[in-house]
Amino acid sequence: MKNSELRQFVLKMTIAGIGIGCIAIGIHMFYQKIQMSVAKISIPAGLILLIIG
């Protein structure tokens, strides 16, 4: 492996790593949004069930 090849390989791995990191952060944020929206729905539903019960 030449020096320039190694540099290109490291650059590609760095870009791939950043890409994977961004995707992981995106999935995590999306999952948190789902959890928050579920909580917003389930808390009032729980209160209504308590009042009815």
pLDDT tens digits, one per residue of 1-53: 688 999 999 999 999 999 999 999 999 999 999 888 888 888 888 888 889 87
pLDDT of the residue at 23: 95
pLDDT of the residue at 1: 66
pLDDT of the residue at 32: 92
- Which are the contacts of 9, defined by CB distance < 8 A and separation ≥ 6? 1
CA distance 52 to 31: 31
CA distance 43 to 49: 10
pTM flag (> 0.85):
no
